[in-house]
């Protein structure tokens, strides 16, 4: 009979270790703090190691993201975090951040729009979204998860991810149009 510890280690190496990078990206989306993300991934890896012997080998990423979601829920219950952060705080931080003056760099007007105004408008539009909309945008557009994987992480149906993403994109688009970079780039 094979050594159960060796089997567990082999399964862990086969199914879990290849997904560590994805887990870290998703954890950053959920926590927004590198230290918290690393703690969440470590907790997820420990839980996965303990349970890998019962894992059937199908859909390891979905299995791990489910473990991560449950670990994050447990962590939040234990520490009872602050209520949602105020989006205005983030806008104030972005507005007061020191930066190089683009005019001094000799950039063309188009480069100024794309490099400065557009980036600032996108940042402002993104931070103006609700936390749950920011999470879905990060998971799909930054972390590259599918709708189904994002739904698994958030613990919601796939259709909910799709509708939140649709609304978030529309809100960002509306804010960008209102901010002006779209009009400055191409006319009207």
Domain(s) labelled CATH 1.10.1740.10 in the chain stretch across: 4-79
CATH class belonging to 4-79: mainly alpha
**119's tokens:** 């980036």
Domain(s) labelled CATH 1.10.10.10 in the chain stretch across: 87-186
What's the pLDDT at 31? 86
Closest CA relative to residue 152, chosen from 143, 33, 9, 87: 143
Are 171 and 133 in contact by the 8 Å Cβ rule? The answer is yes
What's the pLDDT at 143? 81
The CATH number for 87-186, chosen from 3.30.70.3270, 3.20.20.70, 1.10.10.10, 3.30.450.90, is 1.10.10.10
Question: From residue 49, how far is each of 11, 14, 25, 55, 65 by CA, in Å?
Answer: 9, 12, 20, 10, 14
What's the pLDDT at 40? 92
pLDDT per residue, tens digit, the chain (188 aa), is: 567 788 888 999 999 999 999 999 999 988 878 888 999 999 999 999 988 988 898 899 999 999 998 888 888 777 654 444 455 554 555 455 555 444 444 555 555 445 556 667 777 888 888 988 888 988 888 888 889 988 998 899 999 999 999 999 888 888 877 776 444 444 44
3 state SS of 16: helix
**169's tokens:** 């994109």
CA separation for the pair 140, 169 (Å, rounded) = 12
What's the pLDDT at 115? 54
């Amino acid at each position: 009979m094979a050594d159960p510890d060796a089997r567990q280690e082999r399964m862990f190496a086969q199914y879990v270790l290849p997904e560590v990078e994805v887990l870290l990206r998703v954890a950053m989306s959920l926590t927004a703090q590198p230290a918290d993300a690393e703690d969440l991934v470590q907790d997820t890896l420990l839980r996965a190691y303990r349970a890998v012997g019962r894992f059937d080998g199908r859909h390891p990423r979905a299995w791990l993201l489910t473990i991560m979601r449950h670990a994050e829920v447990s962590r939040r219950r234990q520490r009872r975090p602050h209520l949602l952060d105020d989006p205005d705080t983030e806008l104030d931080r972005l507005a007061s951040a020191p930066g190089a003056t683009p005019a001094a760099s000799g950039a063309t007007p188009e480069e100024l729009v794309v490099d400065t105004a557009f980036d600032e408008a996108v940042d402002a539009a993104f931070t103006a979204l609700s936390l749950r909309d920011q999470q879905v945008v990060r998971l799909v557009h930054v972390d590259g998860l599918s709708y189904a994987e994002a739904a698994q992480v958030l613990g919601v149906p796939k259709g909910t991810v799709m509708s939140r993403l649709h609304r978030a994109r529309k809100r960002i688009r509306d804010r960008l149009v209102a901010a002006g970079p779209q009009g400055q780039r191409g006319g009207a």
